[in-house]
A and B are shown apart, each in its own frame.
Chain A
Amino acid sequence: MESLSIFLHNLTQQTLPLWIFVLLSIVLILFLITLPFAGFATYLERKVSADIQARIGPNRVGPYGLLQFIADGIKLILKEDIIPTASDKIFFRMAPMIVIIGSFSMFVIIPFAQKIVIADLNIGVLYILAMGSFVALGTIMGGWASNNKWSLLGGMRSAASVISYEIPAALALLNVILVSGSMSFGHIVDQQKFFNWNLFHNPFLFISFFIYFISALAEVNRTPFDIPEADSELVGGYHTEYSGMRFALFFLAEYADIFVICAVATAAFLGGWHVPFLNYENIAEGVQLPLQFIITLTKILVLFYVVMWLRWTLPRYRVDQLLGLCWKFLTPLSFLMVILTSMWMLCFGGRSFYGIIIGFFS
């Protein structure tokens, strides 16, 4: 764990070329992780949706259609980049960039394995929540700059859903902070050895996990909460006017966001790289990191599958139902969970459910 200010301080104390090198390598790593993943995710999404709808899905480009996303990418790059004359040119161009910066910068603190994390910040949880708001801002900016009523409505809906759902998401993560006593994801994961997953720490954290997952889904505008881009009501929502590569950036950011929320859920609730009956101290040094990486990635992909599964099974919410769900159900429930979790921590001295059961037998 490192303090953000010390991180920044060390970064800026270095001589100029090294600083630029560090920054460039961070950007490079981000792109190396996110771009192939987001590309692969689109392929996965098509395959999963096809499976759910009893179709075959993409099968023309490459074996099993695996190279479909490259073909898609080339198509999107080659497409004409249209900027409507009545639009606001500067913000129209800036909006996809802000969205992509917001969602890619969240990758900085995702812990893939004990040492595979770009910066394990001491305010990790807060950082994730804060950067998420940039995505919403980019969405609103794009919606406004398009000068199109569908886009504007989409942007406003996105604003409404983001401000509302940030509250239950943040409160659900607050329970994790209460239990772990730290905001750094490395620390949070380290505390979840064997059975000590935060998910099973106490009944209230179990509920918090679902609160977080639902609110995070709503925050990244994912079906069944995708009212900002509801194509049956708003044509395409905030990205109606976008085409070509700019549209692709919105698209990439959406998948990157989903990956981030799955990774955060994994690290905060599902134990990161820890699984029951696996003690990393008994495993050879060289195998540890790859094993941790594979376990984390598996968990993330399982959650990712759940997200897609939800998308292709559930119908879309109406906008008033969406906000009603947040303000009348999830927010009070998450406040209740915070109170109950703190009471649990007080009553049982911070021990988990598993710890109490073990305590009976020893």
Chain B
Amino acid sequence: MIDFKTIVLIFFGALAVSSAVLVVFLRNIVYSAFSLIATFFSLAVLFIFLSAEFVAGVQVLIYVGGILILFLFALMLSQQLSQKAVKLSSTKLLPAVLLALPMLGIFLFVIYQTDWELVQNIQMEEGVASLASLLLDKYLLPFELASILLLGALVGALLLARPGEK
């Protein structure tokens, strides 16, 4: 008898993978963008099961609320209403799949052949507070660098998207 947690896990795992398949293979790119929501959301649920609630919250906040809306914004600015489907060249599909499938094979081989050193009796620390102290203590330098990166990205994006002087 499979317990219910497993069913929920498998459901969201399958949702993540199948919606990612739709993201890649759908002809209409707006559909791809919308099915990316399902991928992000089910990944957030998986994060919760991995006792990473904060990461899950940030995932939904940044990916669904920020990045995806940016994508949709760019899509709507760069596409005509009437031309709904964008043409896709199928000639490049074969090499792409031929390149990607062996990679998947290697991944799966490594995943199932390696003898992972697993921790028995997982006792996670209490989430958000210790995450914060870790972030502002041990990982302070990357944290500050990330803020500089974000500032640079902000200025760069503004500069790039501005209409030219001419």
Max count, chain A CB within 10 A of own CB: residue among B50, B57, B61, B73: B57
Query: B53-79: contact bitstring with A at CB < 8 Å (1 yes, 0 no)?
Result: 110111011001110111011001100
Selected from B48, B56, B65, the residue in CB contact (under 8 A) with A136 is B65
Contact partners of A183 in chain B: CB under 8 A: 128
Check B128–A159 contact: CB distance below 8 A. Answer: no
Interchain nearest-CB distance for B85 vs A (Å)? 12
| CB interface residues, A 2-36, toward B, < 8 Å | 3-5, 8-9, 12-16, 19
Check A163–B64 contact: CB distance below 8 A. Answer: no
State whether A162 and B65 are in contact (beta carbons under 8 Å apart), knowing that A5-B48, A140-B72, A144-B30 are contacts in the complex: yes
Interchain nearest-CB distance for B32 vs A (Å)? 13
Chain B's closest residue to A136 (CB) is B69
Check B4–A137 contact: CB distance below 8 A. Answer: no
Contact partners of B66 in chain A: CB under 8 A: 133, 163, 166
State whether A133 and B64 are in contact (beta carbons under 8 Å apart), knowing that A140-B69, A163-B69 are contacts in the complex: yes
B162 within 8 A of A: no
Selected from B5, B50, B58, the residue in CB contact (under 8 A) with A126 is B58
Check B65–A122 contact: CB distance below 8 A. Answer: no
| CB interface residues, B 1-43, toward A, < 8 Å | 3-5, 8, 30, 34, 37
Contact partners of B84 in chain A: CB under 8 A: 88
The A contact surface, by secondary structure, is: helix
Chain A's closest residue to B69 (CB) is A159
Check B73–A159 contact: CB distance below 8 A. Answer: yes
B152 within 8 A of A: no
What total count of A-B pairs have CB within 8 Å?
A: 102
Selected from A127, A137, A156, the residue in CB contact (under 8 A) with B68 is A137
State whether A123 and B54 are in contact (beta carbons under 8 Å apart), knowing that A132-B65, A155-B76 are contacts in the complex: yes
Query: B125-165: contact bitstring with A at CB < 8 Å (1 yes, 0 no)?
Result: 01111000000000000000000000000000000000000
Chain B's closest residue to A18 (CB) is B4
Contact partners of B107 in chain A: CB under 8 A: none
Selected from B4, B53, B69, the residue in CB contact (under 8 A) with A14 is B4
Selected from A4, A13, A91, A134, the residue in CB contact (under 8 A) with B56 is A4
Contact partners of A15 in chain B: CB under 8 A: 4
Interchain nearest-CB distance for B65 vs A (Å)? 3
A5 to B54, CA, bound (A): 10
Contact partners of A121 in chain B: CB under 8 A: 53
Interchain nearest-CB distance for A348 vs B (Å)? 20
A356 to B128, CA, bound (A): 29
A160 within 8 A of B: yes
Selected from A127, A137, A149, A162, the residue in CB contact (under 8 A) with B81 is A149
Interchain nearest-CB distance for A313 vs B (Å)? 30
Check A166–B65 contact: CB distance below 8 A. Answer: yes
Contact partners of A191 in chain B: CB under 8 A: none
A171 within 8 A of B: no
A15 to B4, CA, bound (A): 7
Interchain nearest-CB distance for A240 vs B (Å)? 14
Contact partners of A162 in chain B: CB under 8 A: 65, 69
Check B76–A122 contact: CB distance below 8 A. Answer: no
A141 within 8 A of B: yes
Interchain nearest-CB distance for B128 vs A (Å)? 6
Check A159–B72 contact: CB distance below 8 A. Answer: yes
Check B4–A122 contact: CB distance below 8 A. Answer: no
Interchain nearest-CB distance for B8 vs A (Å)? 5
Contact partners of B30 in chain A: CB under 8 A: 144
A162 to B67, CA, bound (A): 12
The 7 closest A-B pairs by CB, nearest first: A133-B65, A126-B57, A130-B60, A12-B5, A4-B53, A5-B51, A130-B61
Q: A136-B65, A137-B65 are in contact. List 14 more A-B contacts (CB 8 A).
A: A3-B127, A4-B48, A5-B49, A8-B48, A15-B4, A122-B53, A126-B57, A133-B64, A134-B64, A140-B69, A152-B81, A155-B76, A163-B65, A163-B69
Which B residues are closer than 8 A to A by beta carbons? 3-5, 8, 30, 34, 37, 48-54, 56-58, 60-61, 64-66, 68-70, 72-73, 76-77, 81, 84, 126-129
